[in-house]
Amino acid sequence: MAARGKRYKSVKSKVNSLTKLPLEQAVKLAVETATAKFDETIDVSIRLGIDPKQSDQQVRGAIALPHGLGKAVRVLVFAKGPKEAEAKEAGADFVGADDLVEKINGGWLAFDKAIATPDMMATVSKVAKVLGPRGLMPNPKVGTVTMNVSETVKAEKRGKLDFRVDKAGIVHAGIGKKSMGADKLKDNLMALIGAIVKAKPASSKGIYLQGITVSSTMGPGVKVDALQAQDQDSAG
């Protein structure tokens, strides 16, 4: 713990907690302060000007990041018949129906994303209490309940990011790995901000992007100039 504390203090000294940096500089600094021995994830927290208690102010969606997530994504598909074959051909790691339900109920969760065809949802509902809390439940709102199995599997394998606002009005997401480099991570973050701005509820008033913080898994938070980031998105 002492070693971790010493390392953290060393990288923390590079970050002024009161200064809001342009997005590109903030991402670069988050990468520079990711000094752990493993390939750290670069995370972002985006605080929105919404009331998450209001049903018409929920923000959620999905986006295929331009550079993926920098890691292998294990995709599971609930499907039968021709759609089962389609999923396998598209590169799904696990495909099945009741057999997968049995494995999941037995404690197996060795996958990152789950997709289902609409006719399989009665079967999938048997593991809803397991998948739901872990963010793995197929959902038509983010395109993971679909008949377009091939395209969806390929998008998930490339690194499609699902996002949703939490009870505090904040979107938390990983935008890639340190090893991807600051330029690609910046592009991913800009794409995510663009998707969140597009998902702005009509009933949201005032400043929408209220705060953005970027950090590595073990590093300090770096504040981003949210207004400038939104202007960059608008210009793009």
Confidence (pLDDT) at 176: 93
Domain segments of the chain as ranges: 18-69+160-235, 75-157
- Tens-digit pLDDT profile for the chain (236 aa)? 444 565 555 555 566 665 889 999 999 999 999 989 999 999 999 999 999 889 899 898 888 899 988 888 899 999 999 999 999 999 999 999 999 999 999 999 999 999 999 999 999 999 999 999 998 999 998 889 999 999 999 989 988 888 989 999 999 999 999 999 999 999 999 999 999 999 999 998 889 999 999 999 999 999 999 888 777 666 65
- Do 218 and 8 form a contact (C-beta atoms < 8 A)? yes
Confidence (pLDDT) at 1: 42
Give the CA diameter of the chain: 58
End-to-end CA distance of the chain: 44
Sequence letter at residue 186? K
* Separation CA 225–CA 221 (nearest Å): 13
Report the predicted TM-score, pTM, of the whole model to 2 decimal places.
Answer: 0.73
Confidence (pLDDT) at 142: 84
CATH class of the domain at 75-157: alpha beta
Confidence (pLDDT) at 138: 96
Confidence (pLDDT) at 13: 56
H helices, E strands: number in the chain? 9, 9
Confidence (pLDDT) at 81: 96
CATH architecture label of 18-69+160-235: 2-Layer Sandwich (3.30)
Where on the phi/psi map is residue 201: left (φ > 0), alpha (ψ -120 to 50), or beta?
beta
Question: Nearest Cα to 30, choosing from 46, 45, 15?
Answer: 15
- Do 47 and 229 form a contact (C-beta atoms < 8 A)? no
